[in-house]
Structure 1
Amino acid sequence: MRIIGGQHRGLTLASVGKGDEGAHLRPTPDRVRESLFNVLMGHGLPHGARVLDLFAGTGALGLEALSRGATHATFVDNGRVAQGLIRENLSKAKRVADATVLSCAADKLPATSAPCDLVFLDPPYGKYLGGPAVKLAKAQGWLAPDALIVMEDSAPQPVAGFAQVDLRRYGDTHITLLRAP
């Protein structure tokens, strides 16, 4: 796995190895990330954005956003293996100062006064954790007005109160783009 574009293009990320079976680590494939970021560029993102990466896993999505001009990324994952991978990848990219790693579950997200313009959610497939996590993020102040939410799952995941902007399918992966109210 590597960074696809931007300042850190070509940087090889830490290997998931055996991963963490309980955490269902499943990094977004390079070709899906490349296509996703091409779509995001059409929305003027991630350049200049604050990013929230929920269910961050390896942190590849947030790191890709930092590489492409995001100003800050907050990574949220409660898995011990995932937290180690995120910290290792931030260190490899020399982006520790531009990032925060929260060691909590997405359903325990603390309140913030620094809302994000771009939110990534890549929860374990088929568990329908994305919608509740988006609603909690909104309630806790993480979503800027008109924030763009990118949700990856095995099926499209509409969220009541959020407008669906786009829907893409890559094999068994569905990417749903939502706009915050």
Structure 2
Amino acid sequence: MPRKHPPRPQQSSSKGHAPMLRIIGGEWRSRRVPFPDIEGLRPTPDRVRETLFNWLQNTTPGARCLDLFAGSGALGLEALSRGAASVTFVDQSPEVAKQLQNNLNTLKSQRGEVIATSAMTWLEGRQTDNEPRYDLVFLDPPFRKDMLPVICELLESKNLLADNAVIYIEAESEIKQLLLPSNWQPHREKTAGQVTYRLLYREAIADTDQTL
């Protein structure tokens, strides 16, 4: 699903050409790949990704990752470049999914899986206790759709998270409290303009919901 964010500065592009995403670290450092020129689709900015993956430097290598609402694939591709074992990219836009697969082919990566469906449909179709469990999850849903509480509950109820999974969330900064599973403990948080970036650690034993 293309991310309906507040406008961000567009990545490098020229008239008549697709905008480009720059991978900023790891194996593919400084490589550029295109993403569809769709309204509201903006990669997580370079400086935010740099900060995030500094936070995740001990988590990403070898991690099984899930990039819901994948969009440009900025977060999942960055994770693969930095040594993630695998990334599942989920996005409901066929155009986005096709470009993500093309980019994986260009990068000669066999560690990415692209699924063209909505995050909600994909989550609801998971079979509890019969699915891979993810070590690192990126959640960047469309803004002002109030999707996060349901998405987070499904990740827990479908048993899709490793015992000590790490979850990254982007949300509009006017939301001061997020309804999240109580075993998701806040670790880092930063606000840049209209977006707040949160990193949470999951504890193995779930409890009742609480607000953050």
Please give the TM-score of this superposition, normalised by the length of structure 1: 0.88
1:58 to 2:58 alignment = no
**CA distances 1:4-48 after superposition (whole Å, capped 9, x unpaired):** 00000011021332x1x4xx322111111111111112xx12011
Equivalent position to 1:80, from 80, 94, 97: 94
Given residue 124 of structure 1, which amino acid in structure 2 is its aligned partner?
Answer: P
1:12 to 2:35 alignment = no
Equivalent position to 1:100, from 113, 121, 129: 113
Q: Tell me: CA distance 1:78–1:15, structure 2 relative to 1, closer, same or farther (3 Å).
A: closer
Instruction: Report the aligned-residue RMSD.
Output: 1.6
Q: What is the CA–CA distance in structure 2 between the aligned matches of 1:159 and 1:81, rounded to whole Å?
A: 31
Contact kept? 2:35, 2:96, Cα under 8 Å: no
**Larger helix proportion, structure 1 or 2?**
1
Contact kept? 1:25, 1:82, Cα under 8 Å: no
Query: Counterpart in 2 of 1:130?
Result: 148
Q: What is the CA–CA distance in structure 2 between the aligned matches of 1:6 and 1:48, rounded to whole Å?
A: 13
1:153 to 2:171 alignment = yes
Tell me the matched-pair count. Answer: 174
Q: What is the CA–CA distance in structure 2 between the aligned matches of 1:158 and 1:167, rounded to whole Å?
A: 16
Structure 1 segment 20-35 matched on structure 2, within 5 A: 21=39, 24-35=40-51
Query: Counterpart in 1 of 2:195?
Result: 173
Q: Measure how far apart 1:145 and its partner are.
A: 0.7
Q: Measure how far apart 1:125 and its partner are.
A: 1.8
The structure with the largest alpha-carbon Rg is 2
1:118 to 2:140 alignment = no
Other structure's SS at 1:13 match:
strand
Given residue 148 of structure 2, which amino acid in structure 1 is its aligned partner?
Answer: G
Q: What is the CA–CA distance in structure 2 between the aligned matches of 1:86 and 1:170, rounded to whole Å?
A: 27
Contact kept? 1:115, 1:141, Cα under 8 Å: yes
Q: Measure how far apart 1:128 and its partner are.
A: 2.4
Which stretches in structure 1 are left out of the alignment for 5+ residues?
A: none
Contact kept? 2:43, 2:71, Cα under 8 Å: yes
Q: What is the CA–CA distance in structure 1 between the aligned matches of 2:93 and 2:43, rounded to whole Å?
A: 14
Deviates more, 1:24-33 or 1:55-64: 24-33
Equivalent position to 1:37, from 43, 53, 74: 53
The percent of aligned pairs where both chains have the same amino acid is: 40
**CA distances 1:129-158 after superposition (whole Å, capped 9, x unpaired):** 223212212222321111000001212535
Q: Tell me: CA distance 1:77–1:15, structure 2 relative to 1, closer, same or farther (3 Å).
A: closer
Which stretches in structure 2 are left out of the alignment for 5+ residues?
A: 1-20, 204-212
**CA distances 1:58-116 after superposition (whole Å, capped 9, x unpaired):** 11101100100100000111112221221122122211x21111222111223252111
